[in-house]
């Protein structure tokens, strides 16, 4: 069990670390060479910027909380601890970054066993730092944020992420997307799941759904949504959304309406 005082201090330090990594990413984008991009798999891109940003983050986090282990996207440190583990995506939205589309972020979460207790998402281009700790509310740049008050899907704007390398469920996904698009103000694809979640938390969109995601894509953002008054589940309405590779996040009021669409499509 970690004290509130220590968790508060860790949250402050984690914000500083996310911003430091973000500043590095921003500098590198000014003279980025696309020829230095690597392929981890089909349409699964990575660059030296991802890797170097992760090294910065892991090094700094190791100094402020040395007893914690790590779950990292680029494998800088994969040593798991029994009680506390950092979950890190150093550059969520790599494809956007490579193409010069200005929506990408640094995402850092701290888990106590199977529960996220701290989350920080730093959107690099807008200099927006979203953060939360368990039981402490959600914030963006020191301003408290809350989810939207929209009561129905027909009043809502929904974010999603398109399949890009796993197309096994694409027909089910497209069926769900079609239903949601016809019933809402529309759908948006920003390209960073961490940002999508924070936009739900800030009331900019009412919901977000995607499948085939990893823990480091969503861990921080899920806590931020819940601390902003929102709801997060998997597509069956359960709690297996950090490691379960599917997620639905909403302002809570429209959750069951979207969930019904997803259950029908995924049947």
Annotated binding site for Mg(2+): 73, 89, 91-92, 217
Distances (CA, A) of 33 to 23, 38, 53, 190: 18, 12, 16, 23
Residue 224 sits at the vertex; the CA angle it makes with 221 and 229, to the nearest 5 degrees, is: 130
Helices (H), 30-123: 48-64, 94-99
Task: Name residue, tokens 């759908």.
Answer: 187
Strand partners, 45: 39
Q: At 23, list the tokens.
A: 């500043």
Which residue ranges are tagged as binding site?
A: 73, 89, 91-92, 217
Strand order across the 115-123 sheet: 69-72, 84-92, 105-112, 115-123, 128-133, 138-140, 143-144
The helix (run of H) or strand (run of E) holding residue 19 is: helix 4-29
Structure tokens at 28: 């590198």
**DSSP assigned state of 36:** G
Reference 68, options 125, 118, 5; nearest CA is 118
């Amino acid at each position: 069990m970690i004290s509130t005082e220590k968790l508060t201090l860790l949250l402050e330090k984690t914000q500083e670390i996310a911003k430091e990594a973000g500043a590095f990413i921003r500098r590198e984008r000014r003279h980025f060479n696309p020829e230095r991009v690597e392929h981890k798999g089909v349409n699964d891109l990575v660059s030296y910027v991802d890797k170097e940003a992760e090294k910065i983050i892991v090094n700094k986090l190791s100094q402020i909380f040395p007893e914690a282990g790590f779950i990292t996207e680029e494998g800088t440190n994969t040593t798991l601890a029994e009680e506390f583990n950092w979950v890190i995506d150093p550059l969520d939205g790599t494809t956007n970054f490579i193409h010069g589309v200005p929506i990408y972020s640094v995402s850092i979460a701290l888990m106590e066993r199977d529960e996220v207790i701290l989350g920080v998402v730093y959107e690099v281009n807008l200099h927006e730092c979203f953060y939360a700790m368990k039981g402490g509310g959600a914030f963006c740049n020191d301003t408290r944020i809350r989810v939207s008050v929209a009561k129905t899907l027909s009043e809502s704007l929904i974010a999603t992420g398109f399949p890009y390398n796993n197309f096994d469920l694409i027909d089910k996904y497209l069926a769900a997307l079609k239903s949601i698009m016809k019933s809402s103000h529309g759908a948006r694809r920003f390209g960073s799941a961490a940002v999508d979640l924070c936009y739900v938390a800030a009331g900019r969109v009412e919901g977000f759904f995607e499948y085939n995601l990893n823990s480091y894509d969503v861990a921080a953002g899920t806590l931020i949504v819940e601390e902003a008054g929102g709801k997060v589940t998997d597509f069956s309405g359960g709690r297996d959304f950090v490691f379960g590779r599917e997620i639905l996040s909403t302002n809570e009021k429209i959750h069951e309406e979207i969930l019904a669409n997803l259950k029908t499509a995924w049947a």
